[in-house]
Amino acid sequence: MGLFLFIIFLLCDLFTGMLCKYAYRQNFHYQNGMLLGVHIPKEQAHCAQVEALCTRSRRNWNLYQNIQITIGSLLGLLGFFSPEWLVLIWIIWFLLYLAGMEGLMVMPLRRMYRLKQEQGWVRENSRRTVYIDTELSAMSGRMAPAAYWHLLFLVAETTAALYTYLRGQDRQAVSEVAALGIAAMAVTFLLWAMHRYLAEKRNVVYSQNSKVNMAVNGLVKRTWARGFLRVDGLNCASWLYLALRRAQAGGLCGGDWFVYALLQLVAAVAAILPWGNVLSKKRELLAADDQPVEVDDDEYWKNGWYENPQDPRLLVQNRLCDTNYTFNMARPAARWINAGITLLLVGSLGWVAWMMIERLWNI
């Protein structure tokens, strides 16, 4: 059990930390007319004050993420001694990690916005400009590989889970193994839904040149879609391996769990590795564009979130990540939904922490 807990927590914390670290790193580079999430003139991107703020923010971000990735990866060692202490300390670490990461994203943005205001870099003429690329819109849904491949993985996982459950003799042991099959199917369904959403979502207008827009959107969508398929294939392979080994040997040994964990680790790495190259290519494409679209709506993002009372939408596209959406916090419904999600997250983790405390108290 200790080895299994260590591997699971190691994989989850390593994957989460690396994803957070590299997903935000692109904001330290000047692209789409922005640095640290704030629009500034291109000729000011290398001025002393801007470079000092970016250098300091990048250094703090990398240092923080490296420390937290190390701590999160080592926490799994507690599983060899006490699962209760592992879960309890991990919950505290996770909440502190989220709070620190939020601060390191929001504070540099606010400092950059203040600097922009002080230097008078606001472009009033483009504050409410809306660009539409009809040729690009017609290409939505045709820039990524088909999502139906996930359904083939789902059929294989479901077949293996049913076979494992129906042919097993020890019902409790079989149920525990079959639960991993259910988890694999849940991951496949989630990846399928994300793939479908990605393929059908509206493309982002970066430039007044349709070819540039199609090149960048196609690059991003293809990379995400292929990443989803790679992760799902390895997720399926890890579960099928366990099912086949159990059918052959009548049980699972430590080596089987190691192979399962290794495949899951490879899936995590396969999802992250291509992104450094993709972000670099995206920056190159946008840097070479001589007709960029730059809408100076920083006033509505200056606090670190979107808040525009004149915008009736509840959800808007997150400009720091093309594939995400965020709430318009000027809408009361958005505030209630965010409060509910926060209470649900903290409450769920608090309930688990209380159960661990009770178990430790009774030992």
Q: What is the pLDDT of residue 56?
A: 94
SS3 category, 147: coil
Could you tell me which residues come within 8 angstroms of residue 313 by beta carbon, excluding any fewer than 6 positions away? Answer: 328
C-beta atoms surrounding 340 within 10 Å: 10
Amino acid making up residue 100: G
Cα separation, 251 vs 235, in Å, equals 20
d(CA 143, CA 135): 13
Report the relative pairing of strands 325-327 and 38-39 from DSSP bridges: unpaired
Token readout for 82 is 């006490």
* pLDDT reported for residue 54: 92
Phi/psi at 115 (nearest 5 deg)? -60, -40
Positions of the chain with pLDDT lower than 50, given as ranges: none
In the chain, % helix, strand, coil (3-state, to 5) comes to 70, 5, 25
pLDDT digits (tens, 9 = 90+) for 304-323: 888 888 888 888 877 766 66
Cα 330 to Cα 56, 177, 313, 325, 326: the distances in Å are 31, 47, 10, 15, 12
User: Which of 309, 302, 261 minimizes the C-alpha distance to 37?
Assistant: 302
Q: Which of 269, 287, 316, 315 is nearest to 29 (CA)?
A: 287
* CA 252/CA 242 separation, integer angstroms: 8
Distance (Å, whole) CA 78 – CA 241: 28
The model's pTM is 0.68
